[in-house]
Amino acid sequence: MRKKIIFLFLALISAWTGHLYSDDLDPRFHSREEVKWEIPFGRAYDYSDALVTRAVDGDTLLLENNERVRLIGIDTPEMHDSGKLSRDTQRSGQDAAAIKQLGRQSYEFTKKLVEGQRVRLEFDVDKTDKYNRLLAYVYLRDGTFVNAEIVKQGYASLLTIPPNVKYADLFQKLYRQARENKRGLWQ
């Protein structure tokens, strides 16, 4: 029975494609090369004009297509209990509540900057991380470089993970200036 179904399916496809390429069907088609086969498996997404529906935290955004974008090159404090928060408390010597408060400030800054805005994503070498989030440099329509602005205003530390290092020198310069000028979290 299975072989009959497969045979019937192949026969139908063969008959349909033969009809599709028939010169009688449409006089515009004169050869098989003029017909393009496209099978859409989901909507293609335009990362040059994406809507940010919300800031998840200070360094992660959610797009209208429900993809998460992790901003390359920056790291903001955690807002919620997590393994990273535990590691950060041990590394920095700060208590979890203080780190969460700083995370909330970073989140609020990022939220005001990008939520509800249309943005353009620029990718580096790796397009996704191990959590399947997009890794991107993000730009507002007015040209504001979001990753850099968060660092410049003092709401992020640096997180350089090769091979995604295209703007590492710029971020380092902005980070140093933010700390020296006591901006954002460095007050």
| pLDDT for residue 44 | 81
> What residues are labeled active site?
70, 78, 133
With a cut of 60, say whether residue 140 has pLDDT above it: yes
The answer to whether residue 43 sits within a structural domain is no
- Report, as an integer, the average pLDDT of 78-93: 92
Count: domains in the chain: 2
The answer to whether residue 99 sits within a structural domain is yes
Task: Output the six-digit token pair for 67.
Answer: 């993809």
With a cut of 50, say whether residue 24 has pLDDT above it: no
The answer to whether residue 172 sits within a structural domain is yes
The answer to whether residue 143 sits within a structural domain is yes
Rounded to whole angstroms, the Cα distance separating 170 from 9 reads 58
The answer to whether residue 176 sits within a structural domain is yes
The answer to whether residue 63 sits within a structural domain is yes
- Report, as an integer, the average pLDDT of 175-180: 98
Q: Taking the alpha carbons of 173, 175, 180, 184 in that order, is the dihedral positive or negative?
A: positive
Do both 23 and 60 map to the same domain? no
Beta bridge partner(s), residue 68: 62
The answer to whether residue 73 sits within a structural domain is yes
Do both 129 and 104 map to the same domain? yes
Domain limits for position 14: 2-34
Do both 60 and 132 map to the same domain? yes
